[in-house]
Structure 1
Amino acid sequence: MSLLAQLKDAQKDAMRAKDKLRLGAIRMVLAAIKQKEIDEQVTLGDAEITSILVKLVKQRKDSESQYRDAGREDLAEVEANEIKELEAFLPKPLTEEEILTLIDECIAASGASGMQDMGKVMGLLKAKAEGRADMGKLSGLIKQKLSA
């Protein structure tokens, strides 16, 4: 079942259950997908939908930290709940061991020999790890491997 179909089914279930929080989060994702499809005049696949989900989760995490810094725990809690709902549709996160193996494979596949090849490695890695690992953390690990 495609990710879009899963989202639409979850939307129907949330409507039936009268779960306003879950329904709002799912509608937000579906609206972002529809907007991108209309803007680019394409039909999005699972990879593109996953990248939209990753972007929305990142935005929610930023908002949550800003709300907490401002002392608005009520709004931060709403953002945290939306993050939980959105993450349910993301692929299972990679373990630390899988991440290190994947980085080694991408470095070998790209023939990277130093920091100047970081972009090549990140390009390969992004395709394989999008939505399954924090790209900022991966970047740091790649820098360690390439500079060593």
Structure 2
Amino acid sequence: MSDTLKDTLQTDLTTAMKARDELRSATLRMVLTAVRSEEVAGKAARVLSDEEVVTVLQREAKKRREAAEAYDGAGRTEQAARERDELGVVETYLPTPLTDDELAELVDEAVLVATGEGLTGMGAMGAVMSQLKEKVAGRADGKRLSGAVRARLQA
């Protein structure tokens, strides 16, 4: 029987609590709370798939990045460091990000498919993005993906 990502998070929380690892246990509590909130959001409660849990993890990672930047901008270095430490914990559960070369290769393939369908220039942006969203899910954020596609289509 395989564990789900949520089960892994819960097990790691228990381990962190037993080890008295305050940072890891607090971060995992926050992440699990976000997962549970997502499960009960909407009209009916449901169990999230691993892909949906990864989406929640990505959202939490983005919050930590933005908070660290905001704290740095306000001169609150201790809080910024804490946010970065929490980000490090969250990132251990995320898939390995695509390298620039891997992303460029995927973009090139998708552009070839789109041009084969008669789409050219920036008009192909939507078709290329829709092809790539599933392929890079969890491994590259939308901003980075759209930037790579835009650069390729304008070249």
Give the TM-score normalised by structure 2: 0.87
Which residue does 1:121 correspond to in 2? 128
Which residue does 1:71 correspond to in 2? 75
Q: Which amino acid aligns with 1:131?
A: G
Q: How does 1:21-32 map to 2 (within 5 A)?
A: 21-32=23-34
Q: Secondary structure at the match of 2:11?
A: helix
Q: Which amino acid aligns with 1:123?
A: S
Q: Secondary structure at the match of 1:115?
A: helix
Q: Distance in 1 between matches of 2:6 and 2:135?
A: 20
> How far 1:80 moved relative to its partner?
0.5
Note the aligned Cα RMSD (angstroms): 1.5
Q: Distance in 1 between matches of 2:50 and 2:108?
A: 26
2:53 is the alignment partner of 1:49: yes
Query: Runs of 5+ in structure 2 lacking a partner?
Result: none
> How far 1:107 moved relative to its partner?
2.6
Q: Distance in 2 between matches of 1:23 and 1:67?
A: 22
Which residue does 2:150 correspond to in 1? 143
Which residue does 2:16 correspond to in 1? 14
CA 1:122–1:70: 2 relative to 1, 3 Å: same
- Identity value in percent: 37
- 1:126-147 deviation per Cα after TM superposition (whole angstroms, max 9, x unaligned): 2221321232122111011112
Task: Kindly indicate whether the alpha-carbon contact (under 8 Å) linking 1:57 and 1:87 is maintained by their aligned counterparts in 2.
Answer: yes
Which residue does 1:87 correspond to in 2? 91
Query: Runs of 5+ in structure 1 lacking a partner?
Result: none
Q: Distance in 1 between matches of 2:15 and 2:28?
A: 11
Q: Distance in 2 between matches of 1:20 and 1:3?
A: 21
Task: Kindly indicate whether the alpha-carbon contact (under 8 Å) linking 1:4 and 1:46 is maintained by their aligned counterparts in 2.
Answer: yes
- The number of residue pairs the alignment matches comes to 148
Q: Distance in 1 between matches of 2:61 and 2:135?
A: 19
Give the TM-score normalised by structure 1: 0.91
Q: Distance in 1 between matches of 2:113 and 2:36?
A: 35
Deviates more, 1:71-80 or 1:35-44: 35-44
Look at both structures and tell me which one has the larger radius of gyration over its CA atoms.
2
Greater helix fraction, Structure 1 or Structure 2: 1
